[in-house]
């Protein structure tokens, strides 16, 4: 089984070349003042009416997982292991869906 990855690695020179060939006008954006940046954001139709109030934001962490030793049929375990990395997370998601359906 080959490992699928989405991590891309670039050298500093490659990143600089990408920046040079970008369609963005980096010199113009670097020259903008904070007020000009705020005005450009305010005039963007995609940002219209978007007000984010971060004063009420809270940081929450998921509850820690419980450690469980469980006996399951070998073919069931083989199936989930055959799905690749994260098979235990998949098992948990299926159990979570079952619990939610029972409520």
pTM: 0.43
Residue linked to tokens 């940046």:
37
Whether the CB-CB separation of 80 and 90 falls below 8 Å is answered with yes
Q: Across all residues in the chain, what is the average pLDDT?
A: 88
Q: Is the pLDDT of residue 1 over 60?
A: no
Neighbours of 91 (CB within 10 A): 16
pLDDT at residue 2 above 80? no
> Quick one: tokens of 40?
């450009």
């Amino acid at each position: 089984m080959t490992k699928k990855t989405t991590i891309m690695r670039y050298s500093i020179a490659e990143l600089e070349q990408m920046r040079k060939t970008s369609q963005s006008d980096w010199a113009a954006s670097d020259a903008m003042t904070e007020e000009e940046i705020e005005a450009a954001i305010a005039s963007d139709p995609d940002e219209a009416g978007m007000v984010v109030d971060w004063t009420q934001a809270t940081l929450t962490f998921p509850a820690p997982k419980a450690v469980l030793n469980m006996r399951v049929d070998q073919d069931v375990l083989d199936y989930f292991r055959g799905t690749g990395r994260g098979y235990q997370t998949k098992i948990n998601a299926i159990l979570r869906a079952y619990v939610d359906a029972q409520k």
